[in-house]
């Protein structure tokens, strides 16, 4: 897949899906150009992890994720009755910060 991107001078830049994947890996702190990436399993195939590579699950996670169900229930009730506080400025700032991080 190739996307054409026009610039102000009328010139065209072509970016492939591989370029986009490389930029995404770099943004996530993953391997960059020249560093080998872990091979992805083809769709529909199984992935196996050998015992020396796999790490045992911590005891506190064996019973499930650490979720405070009482807190979750209170938040659900507040949302349902319209009393959950929403700070639109904080949400906007967070979204904008994430946008800036992805584009740098």
- Residue 38 domain flag: no
Q: Give the dihedral of Cα atoms 61, 67, 68, 72; nearest 10 deg.
A: -170
Residues 46 and 38: beta-carbon distance below 8 Å: no
Evaluate whether residue 19 is within a structural domain. Answer: yes
Q: Which residues of 74-100 are buried (b: 16+ CB within 10 A; e: fewer)?
A: eeeeeeeeeeeeeeeeeeeeeeeeeee
49 in a structural domain: no
Could you tell me the pTM of the whole model? Answer: 0.33
In a domain, 61, yes or no: no
- Residue 97 pLDDT grade (very low, low, confident, very high; cuts 50, 70, 90): very high
Helical H runs in the chain? 17-27, 69-81, 88-102
In a domain, 51, yes or no: no
- What pLDDT score does 1 carry? 45
| Containing structural domain, residue 23 | 11-31+66-104
């Amino acid at each position: 897949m190739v996307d054409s991107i026009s610039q102000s001078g009328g010139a065209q830049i072509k970016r492939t899906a591989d370029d986009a994947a490389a930029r995404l890996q770099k943004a996530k702190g993953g391997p960059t150009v020249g560093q080998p990436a872990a091979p992805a399993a083809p769709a529909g195939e199984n992935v196996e992890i050998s015992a020396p590579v796999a790490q045992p699950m911590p005891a506190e996670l064996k019973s499930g994720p650490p979720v405070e169900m009482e807190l979750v229930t209170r938040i659900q009730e507040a949302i349902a009755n319209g009393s959950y506080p929403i700070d639109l400025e904080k949400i906007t700032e967070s979204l904008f910060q994430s946008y800036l991080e992805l584009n740098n």
